[in-house]
Structure formats: C-alpha cells, structure tokens
Amino acid sequence: MSIEIPKKPQTQEAVPREDNPFEDEKVAKEWVSSVENERGMIRDNELYPMLVSWVEEMRPQIVLDIGAGQGGCANVVQRSDARYIGVEPSKYLVERAKEINSKEGREFIIGNAYELPIPTESVDAALSVNVWFHLADLHTASRELSRVLTHGGKFLVCTANPDAYDVWLGMFDSNAKVDDKVIDGKVNTPITPLSRNLFFKHSMDEMMETFTENRLKIDKTITNGAIQNQEPLFVSFFGHKE
C-alpha cells in the first residue's frame, strides 16, 4: 500500500546542487551490483546493527531515509508498526528499490537532500547513511533535515570520518581529480568499482556547526568501520531536533 505523503510546494527557483553520479544509469547499475553482492562487510557487521538498535530504542512511527539508494535500509529500520519513506535522487535506484524492496507501509520517492518532498515537521525519525560526504552544501541539507523532523524528533547521520580521509583517498583511482575540498573520479568500492564518484571532504567542525545552526543537537557520536590499524572509515551522529 502506498504511503500518501503530501508534496512540499515547489519553490520558484530550484536549489542548485552538485552533480550526482548515481543519476547516471551506468554508475547506478554499478552501485546496485556492489551493494547487492556485498556480504559480511562493514555494512552488515556494524552499520545495520547500529540502525536496528537505534530504531528499537526509539520505536518511531515514521522513518525517513535520506539518500535511500535501492532501499536496503528499509529492511533494517522499518518495524511492523511503522511507516518508511525513502527519498533518493536517482530514478534508477528508486526503480530498483520499488522492484526488490516494496512492502506494506513503504514508499520510495525521487527527491534530494536539499529539497525534501516531505511536509514540515511530519516525521519523528530520519536517517542518512553514507550520503553527507556526497553533498557540497551541508547547511542546506541540515536545514531540510531539521524542517521535516517533529520537535524532539531523532536523527542519525552516518558519514565519512574526517580522520580517515587519507584512507578514502586511497580507494580512488590514481587519475581522480583531487583538491582541498573534493575528490572526483573512479573509486574501487567492494565487489564492483564505480566509474565515477564525488567525495566532499567536510571537517568535523563544519559538520557539527551545520547541525547546531539548524537546531539539531548532537547527543553522541561513534565511529565505525575500523580496518586493521587504520582510522575508522565512518562517523555516526545521533541527535534530536531542539
């Protein structure tokens, strides 16, 4: 059954945003191949269990997934008594989500983190996993996250750990374009490499400030994805809207 979510009125001028490689059909198919054939790695061993614990503790009525991809998190965070909304800018990934992850009480819709097609103060929990480092403008993304959350609503943002940017850089092809803010090029993701990806290098202070400026209070942070003696790949922010 479809979840009826009234669309946010469109502004006169769209918010400018960076390229999204996943809106390219080739890259989207590479991502689908990589994620759907991945087994026993960080996603399964650390990230998904973290999401399960978060949802079980809160027991939200509506969970919003920002940058939902092909909807894998829906199977982890949607309780039987809750609704799930996955927002994803790539039409190819939304189509794949509807194909393999459709279920009662779920909806997958096209939209992006800068202009969420979700009414103001309509969800009591929102998550975004491995999306923030694909975004150039964290202030706008955090503002939208705050807008759609109810007062006291909880959020979980998992993104790249700034202390591990050298590790992330090592995953990219030697021909990737690199400057002090962004990495743009082929990346050797597990299982299936992506022919192009964009990775924005945000500092911890920058991320914390954009949350705080938008009434998003951080309750705790944890790191995930330590590989051998390297810095953990991910940092996860748990918080609520003040």
Whether 2 is in a domain gets the answer no
Whether 81 is in a domain gets the answer yes
229 versus 133: the higher-pLDDT residue is 133
Whether 60 is in a domain gets the answer yes
Give pLDDT, residue 11.
Answer: 43
pLDDT digits (tens, 9 = 90+) for 29-72: 999 999 999 999 999 999 999 999 999 999 999 999 999 999 99
pLDDT digits (tens, 9 = 90+) for 168-179: 999 999 999 999
Q: Which CATH number is 139's domain given?
A: 3.40.50.150
Spatial separation of the C-alpha atoms in residues 134 and 198, rounded to whole Å: 6
Q: pLDDT-based confidence at 5, cuts 50/70/90?
A: low
Whether 67 is in a domain gets the answer yes
Continuous segment of H or E residues that includes residue 169: helix 165-169
Give pLDDT, residue 16.
Answer: 66
Residues of the domain holding 152: 21-161+203-241
What are the DSSP calls for 35-84, one per residue? HHT--SSHIIIIIHHHHHHHHHHH--SEEEEET-TTSTTHHHH--TT-EE
Domain count, the chain: 1
pLDDT digits (tens, 9 = 90+) for 207-224: 999 999 999 999 999 999
Helix (H, G, I), strand (E, B) or coil at 170: coil
Whether 235 is in a domain gets the answer yes
Mean per-residue pLDDT of the chain: 93
The angle that helices 204-212 and 138-148 make with each other, rounded to 10 degrees, is 40
Whether 4 is in a domain gets the answer no
Whether 180 is in a domain gets the answer no
Whether 188 is in a domain gets the answer no
pLDDT digits (tens, 9 = 90+) for 95-107: 999 999 999 999 9
